[in-house]
Structure 1
Amino acid sequence: MSKITKKILKSILLSSVMSLMHSSDAKAQNPFLPSFEPEDDDSDQVGEIKHRIYKNVVKISPTGRMSMVNGHRSHSSHRSHYSGGGGHSSHSSHYSSSHTSHYSSSSSSRSSSSSSSSRINGLYSVPTKTAADYSLGDRTIKSGIYGADVNKLAELLVSKYYLKRNSVTKKSGYTLYDANMSAAIKHFQRDAGLTPSGTVDNTTSIALQTWDESKTTIDLGFRDITEGTTGYDVSQLVKLLTAAGYAPESSKLEYKSGNAVFNSEVAMALKMFQAYNQLEVTGIPDTQTITKLKNFKK
């Protein structure tokens, strides 16, 4: 690097420092400001360059007081932008309101999103349901599934005479869809004219909820039969008594929704069967009596 280049760089550095001064005595107050003394061989050239720098950057008054030219104008313009015509107030208001609004909106959005969804790799996804969150019809139910929807399914199967309450299995506090429930669903699907798949889709769940239990083909022995009970199982009992030779009098039989009603005539025929087969004569189709009827041979 030549001497003249070095001197020019020193001049530029000196001018930059001087641009930060607000008074001609700044240098006197700051002993750390560098001094510059040109050498004889290039003083004229450096002086010319310094003159141009001072003219563009520093203004010198007749009294010798120095002030910045470009820096001062820029500062004044900047101050005017913030204070003139309410500029500062307007800018502050704009910043405050927009920033606050943006922050509040973003915060609200984040809060809303976090309450209804989870973030995975920067993307929002619907949170996984727990066993308690499912309602009947939300999903296809098959072997091994448990939850609130299976609870509801079990209640319907019990009320429609397809499942005994004491055959329900629990897992983690919820009803488990096991082999017993699958067999009950197949039974219902056959009654309802559906494909007996043993799994519960939306069609099956809707059909079960609207099912008339009087149409259930209840197996004899599935439930207790007492005076006034009607259903497929009572009709089955009448058929078995007839096949065994103890048919109730047909004129005294009653029917409801196409199925026989367990009345006094059916009870009397059952007592006769029990008496002739050395069974306890109760007139009630208990397990022992039903087993004897199903296996009876003349």
Structure 2
Amino acid sequence: FFFFLIKISTMKLFSISTVAVLLAQSASGFAPMSQQASFGVVSPRGSVLQMAKNPVPFFAQDSDDSSEDTESVDDSVSFDDEVEILVQAEMAKNEKVSNLRNAKGVDYAPWMNISADDESKIRQLVKEKAEVRRKRAEQEKDVSGNLFTDSQAQELSGTGLNYKVIDGQVELEWATKSESNTKGFIVKRRIAKTNEFSILASYKEWGPLASQGIEGGVYRYLDNTVSPGGWVYRITECDNSGSEADLCQCLVDVQTEDEQKQAVILGVGFGIFAIAAVVAGLVLDPLAG
């Protein structure tokens, strides 16, 4: 009898333990996951092949290496050195992506490998960017006002500044629509393909260059000191506070007397040739007679 009671008690204890284990396993389904989700692929065996330890994909991450833009290169560096620095920076960015591999050693982006032809193309693009940057930097030093902000009024465009060459002298003419804070104008000149301007006249010494009022006006200046050659003329506007802003400019080619005679002779010769060609065409045309 006692043996029978002990057996029943053992069976009850075993049943209670079994139920407790089953309840614990079923309850674990509602517990929060202990492992943080990672960006990658989960295999059927439960192992995770992460593309990166960071849950953010590598192509969405901010690069640790601050890519050197053309604007950040020191102007004291030579042009060739600047191009080489920028080429190496571009190649390093591409190599960083092309060297990424998964746990099995498979490249994520094998198409990003750089060939010799790719390097040549990168070098050419970088060279063009460097040239644009340096040209822009020179313009910032040499040009201000409308000539710098308006792309249509840049070097040698002549927008707003008209000229005439009369007997070896250059007559300049420009107009303004409004002069709310203008005190006057300065006329500058430099030899073509050089950088240094010299002042020809200023509103401070020559009255006609002073402002004509709020509604603006038409201004003229005659340069009788010019010599044959190429010249760049520039008009600079000065306000009441003393600040200056370049308004307009143009390139003028002043010819010598011999060059002018040759141009006239060539023009006359071309006219005679054109007339002769027309006459010959009419005479030889079988339908004319």
State whether TM-score is above 0.5: no
Q: Which structure is higher in strand share?
A: 2
Q: TM-score, normalised by structure 1?
A: 0.29
Q: Which structure is higher in helix share?
A: 1
Q: TM-score, normalised by structure 2?
A: 0.30
- Please identify the structure whose Cα radius of gyration is greater: 1
Higher RCO, 1 vs 2 (CA within 8 Å, ≥6 residues apart): 2
